[in-house]
Chain A
């Protein structure tokens, strides 16, 4: 089990994260927060790129910084905007990554082919990566992260910059990789994790705001989310969430602390993660 005990990260007088307590067992954990909320800081601490100012991060009771290479041996990491060797083919790049992960030479070739197949890059395995799309590069990235069959897979904004088709593909890929391991995924795109995350972690004001299943997180707004095609008639204090067009009408989704109930054009709806996200971070600038 991976656990964070009162982890604080400070840069001078600025606190990026304060007193975070978390526990990760098997499954997909989604770190959901707006940009700048501290997701990447937390991810980087989990990857040992930066270190907690206070508190500790433990893997099965041992400090991950002290575990050093034996901890890094069990993690796979895909950073946001990760770099790669443009003149390498995926196979060459993965061979290099296998070397830095100290994998046994006789196991490497088979593992690389298997992963290239899994991420759907078999056709381009020997093509230079400089002409690859963002989605293809991300798939190379997930393949490198999976090379050592990690117990902990850490993905920092893995779908940023991908088109919708690639995002769906990537989501499915992560879902298929999540068996028997901890997957920690940071994102500010709700749809990325809505269907695959077993647990959602919300960080607000540098502190842990909530950690629960998506359904439980959504229940926190139960009875507070409504839809109407006549928003101008709603006089109670409200937070506009989303709008959509339906049969030529503009349907507005909003949240209100005061019970409005189904009346006239207003109907109560089941909150989704996006509603919660917009509601929780209503005061924060994107």
Chain B
């Protein structure tokens, strides 16, 4: 019953509703601006006909070692760091060979460039939406955690039978609200996209074939697992939801562990900024384990959302880094949230 009360508080929160509406409006504005700057679709070429006629099978004879050597030269890697990068791309070679040998999903669409609409949907809109729902989840959990403290009702509730365990109900309510608001933002943003753009997407085709090259790069779009475009979109949204969960846990941990709501918000901003700044810092050499671990953080994941399910460049050394990072950081943030809750149970409330 208390869960429903907490859910109602959050779902009717003007701040959260306004923020969700702002996200949708921002995405709508972004898509309208992009539409005006895009060439008419007819001039872009259709992957299913004209481009298909010029298609080249990119995976046949492709050597992933070339990608590795490119990174080694670019970052001037040496020693273990260079070897780790080479090892990762060596592990990717059987994937390429499998794709080349696949008769069911041949890489038919390689034309040297992706269509602008593919970049717009999978490269830009998906990244924006992922960041937006992460922010929503963070603020939602933070608001839930500090709600009573901000209203001065904390002491009344902590002395009630449920006591400080109310934070758990608040956490579930925050995650549920985040999920609902995320669906709202994603649903309306995708709906807007498909209403604005008459864009035939080959949903059942292999995404490694449909995407001419990795988003924003010149190498092929090599996914570790065979994914259709529909599966890729679903998986990318699932990772986005997972990152939002991470953000929710960060917000809950900060709101529960830090007495001041403003300080808690500041701590969240600092943490996310630290994730980003340290990941980009030259102090962490590419190819090092620490750099790779650090690069699994949510900020780096958002920044590189276009590389999800692929090799993920030289910064990360492991296959399926997005799933690995999601689970690893979710576990870390869940532990932080649990620790903050345990601290709250022992803390003196003045």
Q: Contact residues of A with B, CB < 8 Å? A: 44, 47-51, 68-69, 72-73, 75, 77, 79, 81-85, 96-97, 99-102, 105, 144, 148
B195 contacts chain A at the CB level, 8 A cutoff: no
**B161, A148: Cβ atoms under 8 Å?**
yes
The 8 A CB mask of B156-192 against A (1 = contact, 0 = none) is: 1111111101100000000000000000000000000
**A83, B163: Cβ atoms under 8 Å?**
no
B225 contacts chain A at the CB level, 8 A cutoff: no
Grouping DSSP codes into helix (H, G, I), strand (E, B) and loop, the A interface class, with mixed when no group exceeds half, is loop
Q: Smallest CB–CB gap between A154 and chain B, Å?
A: 8
B350 contacts chain A at the CB level, 8 A cutoff: yes
B196 contacts chain A at the CB level, 8 A cutoff: no
B158 closest partner in A (C-beta): A49
CA distance A72 to B151 in the complex (A): 21
List CB contacts (< 8 Å) of B121-179 with chain A. 148, 151-163, 165-166
**A49, B156: Cβ atoms under 8 Å?**
no
**A79, B161: Cβ atoms under 8 Å?**
no
**A49, B2: Cβ atoms under 8 Å?**
no
Q: With contacts defined as CB atoms under 8 Å apart, how many contacts are there between chain A and chain B in the complex?
A: 73
B residues in contact with A49, CB < 8 Å: 155, 158-159, 348-350
* A81 in contact with B157 given A50-B349, A100-B166, A101-B162 (CB within 8 Å): no
B residues in contact with A81, CB < 8 Å: 152
**A99, B5: Cβ atoms under 8 Å?**
yes
* A75 in contact with B151 given A44-B350, A99-B1, A100-B166 (CB within 8 Å): no
The 8 A CB mask of B1-24 against A (1 = contact, 0 = none) is: 110010000000000000000000
Closest 7 CB pairs of A and B: A83-B152, A50-B348, A100-B160, A77-B159, A83-B153, A49-B349, A102-B161
Given contacts A48-B159, A100-B166, A101-B161, 7 further A-B contacts (CB under 8 A): A44-B350, A50-B350, A72-B161, A72-B163, A77-B159, A83-B153, A148-B161
**B155, A77: Cβ atoms under 8 Å?**
yes
CA distance A234 to B281 in the complex (A): 83
CA distance A97 to B162 in the complex (A): 10
Grouping DSSP codes into helix (H, G, I), strand (E, B) and loop, the B interface class, with mixed when no group exceeds half, is helix
B residues in contact with A105, CB < 8 Å: 1
CA distance A50 to B347 in the complex (A): 8
List CB contacts (< 8 Å) of B16-42 with chain A. none
CA distance A49 to B160 in the complex (A): 11
A residues in contact with B154, CB < 8 Å: 83
* A82 in contact with B161 given A50-B348, A51-B348, A100-B166 (CB within 8 Å): no
Chain B residues with a Cβ closer than 8 Å to the other chain, count: 22
CA distance A44 to B158 in the complex (A): 11
**B156, A83: Cβ atoms under 8 Å?**
yes
A104 closest partner in B (C-beta): B1
A residues in contact with B159, CB < 8 Å: 47-49, 72, 75, 77, 79
* A68 in contact with B348 given A85-B151, A85-B153 (CB within 8 Å): no
5 A-B contact pairs sorted by A residue (CB < 8 Å): A49-B158, A77-B156, A77-B159, A100-B160, A144-B156
The CB with the most chain B CB atoms within 10 A, among A75, A83, A85, is that of A83
B residues in contact with A47, CB < 8 Å: 155, 159
**B161, A69: Cβ atoms under 8 Å?**
yes
A residues in contact with B349, CB < 8 Å: 44, 49-50
A residues in contact with B151, CB < 8 Å: 83-85
**B348, A102: Cβ atoms under 8 Å?**
no
**B157, A100: Cβ atoms under 8 Å?**
yes
CA distance A97 to B157 in the complex (A): 8
Q: Smallest CB–CB gap between A166 and chain B, Å?
A: 20
Q: Smallest CB–CB gap between B346 and chain A, Å?
A: 8
* A84 in contact with B160 given A44-B350, A50-B349, A99-B5 (CB within 8 Å): no
* A102 in contact with B162 given A50-B350, A51-B348 (CB within 8 Å): yes
**B163, A97: Cβ atoms under 8 Å?**
no
Q: Smallest CB–CB gap between B192 and chain A, Å?
A: 33
B residues in contact with A85, CB < 8 Å: 151, 153
Q: Smallest CB–CB gap between A142 and chain B, Å?
A: 12
**A101, B348: Cβ atoms under 8 Å?**
no
Q: Smallest CB–CB gap between B222 and chain A, Å?
A: 53
**B160, A101: Cβ atoms under 8 Å?**
yes
B348 closest partner in A (C-beta): A50
A residues in contact with B156, CB < 8 Å: 77, 79, 82-83, 97, 144
CA distance A79 to B158 in the complex (A): 11
B residues in contact with A44, CB < 8 Å: 349-350
B residues in contact with A96, CB < 8 Å: 5
Q: Smallest CB–CB gap between B169 and chain A, Å?
A: 9
B residues in contact with A77, CB < 8 Å: 155-156, 159
CA distance A99 to B170 in the complex (A): 13
| Contact with A69, one of B1, B157, B163, B350 (Cβ below 8 angstroms) | B163
B157 closest partner in A (C-beta): A100
